[in-house]
Structure formats: C-alpha cells, structure tokens
Amino acid sequence: MSTTLNPAVAATPAAQLNARAATRSILQAAGMLPVLILLALGFHFLGGHRFLSGQNLSIIAQQASINTVLASGMTFVILTGGIDLSVGSILAFAAMCGLIVSTMPHLAWLAVPACLGAGLLIGVFNGALIAGVKIPPFIVTLGTLTAVRGLARLMGNDRTIFNPDLSFAWIGNDGIAITSTFTIPWLAVIALAVVVASWFILRRTVLGVHIYAIGGNASAARLAGIRVGLVLMFVYAASGLLAGLGAVMSSARLYAANGLQLGQSYELDAIAAVILGGTSFVGGVGSIWGTLVGALLIAVLTNGLILVGVSDIWQFIVKGLVIIVAVALDRFRAPAART
C-alpha cells in the first residue's frame, strides 16, 4: 500500500495460515462426505455386496455425470445469490438442436458446437434479462423453463429425433478401461474436468472472487467497483453453456433427443446437489467440491435404492427425505452456516 503508517504487529507466518485454511476448507467441503460413505457402505451390505463393485461404480459415475455438470453451472449461479430453473429445458432444447444438426449430411460435425451454442445462447438470454433488465432470476428462469421447453418441442415437431450413427456417441458409451470390469466412462471424465475448471475459476481467478463477493453482498460489490452486471451475465451464460454440454452428454448416451421428456426436472436435482454440497442458498458461501459430493450423493441414492429393490414410488419419497435430513444434520453440525 502507498501509505507508510506506523509498523506494528507481525502476522502469523503465512505458510502456517495456509495450512490451517486448507484444513478448514477440506472440513467444510467434506460436509456431506461422511454421509456419502455411510450410504455407500449401507447399500453395499443391504444390496448383497454388489454396490461397491467396479461395474456398479462406473455406472454410478455415469449416472452422476450429467447432474454434476448441470450442478456446476448451478453452483456459479447460486453463489451469486441467484437461481437457474431453466437448465433442464435448455438441455432438451440444445440436444434437439444437436441431433437435428447431426442428421444433416455435411454439417454433422457441427452437432457438438450446436449443442453448446444453443445452451450458451439461452444462458446469455437469461443473463441479459437478469443483469440488464434487472428482473429477478427466479422469474426470468421460470419463464425460460417453460418457453424453452416449448422451443425444444417445436424443433422436432414434438417428435423424438433419432440418429443411430451419431458421430460423438463414443462420449456416452466408452471410457478409459482400468480393469476388465472397471472403466472410467468419458462422461465421468468430462464431469470431473468441469468440476476442476469450475474450481479454478472460483478459487484462482478474479472472476471467482467477484462471484463470491456479489453473493455475499451485492450492494457492497458495486460500491467496491465490481461490474456486477458482467459477472451475473457470466454465471447465467456459464450455466446455459454447461446445460448445452449436458445435452451433448445426454444425446451421446441416448442417440436421441425428445423435446417433451428430456431433462424434465433436471434443474431440481442440480439445485439439490448444490444445496447438499453446503452452498448457501442466499449466495456468497460454498464450494464446487461440495457440489460434486452432493451430486454423487444423489446418484448413490438412486442407484442404491434400485439395487436393494425399493420401488420407484418409494425412491422418490426416500430421496426427498434424505435431502432434508442431510441438510438438517449439516445445520446441526455447523449451526452458524446459512442456507
């Protein structure tokens, strides 16, 4: 700083502080990790020792991957104190765009960019209304949730588009083979890459600092010289783009897209993952690692309940209650935290 005031106390050595902060953030991120492990062990023993097999684990990784990608975008949004209800619809719309392009003879290679571009477009639209016109995010994305769902149905005349020769189908079906029974699916690799990239943005860049600042106190952020509108634009654009990526992953897996059913209520699972991960619902506090654990928790629950033979109806009931109980436990553990 430019001032030369009286020198005084020396701070605690930096390395020591870093170590302490690291431990603390690991503990915070760990939040739901013990629950995740307990659940996994529980399902393993209840479900005839099948749960923790290599094959089942790679299925879980695959099942968790799309939600992890959506929840990463949702983490950005919720950290600023916002919400994006439109990701499920965006995913359906982007997948329709992608599949239609993939069936065009000379443009098939543009299918993946089409998915990503469509997602980004809707995200930018959300962001422009929220940051520019200053309409509350809940209202804007509630609107796009419905409108974009309609667009998605319009795209294929309300029919399922199917492409058995999808050029990027390997994304959804192959993986890195580790042993004969255990493969790391590309879907999981992509999801992990998204998590790492999100972590980098949130923790290692100016943008990340500004995201946390806006969620912590938007008025103060503006007075501190942060371009609040631009940052909000970024988070909704990112959420849209990642929904587009989710569309790539989902269509690669299904060789198909359907405007009506695809991505229905995906936004709820994404929000649940973020909240389970300990991110404050009013913004400013949270981590992407927590979101990863949250998304895994949801996948483990879904997979485990099927494995132990719980009926479809009861799965809903149990999943919903587990989300409430898990967050309640977390509150008990750290009463100071906010949601």
Partner 1 sequence: MALAHQTTSEMQENNTPLLHVAGISKTFSGIKVLKDVSLSAYGGEILALMGENGAGKSTLMKILSGAYTADPGGEIRIGGEVARITNPASARALGVGIIYQELALAPNLTVAENIHLGSELRKGGMIDRSAMNEACRELLRELGAPFGPEDKLSTMSVAEQQLVEIARALHRDVRILVLDEPTTALSARETDRLFALIRQLRAKGLALIYISHRMDEIDELADRVSVLRDGAHVGTLEKHELSSARIVSLMVGRDLSSFYEKDGDHVRHDAAPILQVEGLTDGKRVQPVSFVLRPGEVLGIAGLVGAGRTELARLVFGADPKVAGTISLDSRKLDIRSPRDALAAGIAYLTEDRKALGLFLDMSCSGNINLGVVERDARLGVLDHGKGRTRATGSFAALRIKAQNMLTNVGGLSGGNQQKVLLGRLLETGPKVLILDEPTRGVDIGAKTEIYRIINDLAAQGLGIIVISSEMAEIIGVSDRVLVMREGHLTGELTGDEITQEAIMSLAVGLAAAPSIAA
Contacts with partner 1, 285-304, as mask; x by CB under 8 A: x-------------------
Among 146, 205, 311, 339, which residue interacts with partner 1 (rule: CB under 8 A)? 205
How far apart CA 253 and CA 249 sit, in angstroms, is 6
Residue 157 per-residue DSSP state:
T
Residue from 193, 241, 245, 296 nearest 76 by CA = 241
CB of 38 or CB of 206, closer to partner 1: 206
Q: How far is CA 146 from CA 76, 85, 154, 259, in A?
A: 22, 10, 13, 12
Minimum gap (Å) between residue 123 Cβ and partner 1? 20
Among 168, 179, 57, 80, residue whose Cα is nearest residue 127 = 80
Q: Are 186 and 170 in contact (CB under 8 A)?
A: yes
- Using CB under 8 A as the binding rule, the residues of this chain from 206 to 225 that contact partner 1 are 206-209, 212-213, 216-217, 219-225
Name which of 104 and 196 has its Cβ closer to partner 1.
196
* Residue 281 contacts partner 1 per CB under 8 A: no
Residue 176 phi/psi, 5-degree rounding, is -90, 115
Provide the minimum distance between the beta carbon of 5 and partner 1 in the complex, in angstroms, as a whole number. 4
Least distance between partner 1 and beta carbon 221 (Å): 8
Residue 106 CB neighbour total at 10 angstroms? 6
Phi, psi of 200 (to 5 degrees): -60, -45
Toward partner 1, which CB reaches closer, 211 or 300? 211
Q: What is the DSSP string of 41-83?
A: HHHHHHTTT-TTSHHHHHHHHHHHHHHHHHHHHHHHHHHTT--
State the number of binding residues for partner 1 (CB under 8 A).
38
Q: How far is the CB of 275 from partner 1 (least distance, A)?
A: 17
Is residue 284 a contact residue for partner 1 (CB under 8 A)?
A: yes
Please identify, using beta-carbon distances, which residue of 17 and 37 lies nearer to partner 1: 17
Q: Is 26 in the site for partner 1 (CB under 8 A)?
A: no
Instruction: Give the per-residue contact string, 5-24, with partner 1 (x = CB under 8 A; - = no).
Output: xxxxxxxx-x--x--xx---
Asked if 319 touches partner 1 (CB under 8 A), the answer is: no
Listed in sequence order, the residues at least 6 apart from 337 whose beta carbon sits closer than 8 Å to its beta carbon are: 278, 280, 285, 330, 331
Secondary element (H or E) of residue 177:
strand 175-177
Q: How far is the CB of 135 from partner 1 (least distance, A)?
A: 20
The rounded distance, in Å, linking the Cα atoms of 270 and 87 is: 9
The DSSP output letter for 109 is G
Closest distance between partner 1 and the C-beta of residue 222, in Å?
A: 6
334 by DSSP, 3-state: which?
coil
x/- mask, partner 1, residues 238-277, rule CB under 8 A, reads: ----------------------------------------
Closer Cβ to partner 1, 38 or 220, answer by number: 220
Among residues 288, 82, 83, the alpha carbon closest in space to that of 191 is found at 288
Of the candidate residues 52, 100, 227, 281, the single one contacting partner 1 (CB under 8 A): 227
Footprint of partner 1 on this chain (CB under 8 A)?
Answer: 1-12, 14, 17, 20-21, 204-209, 212-213, 216-217, 219-227, 280, 284-285
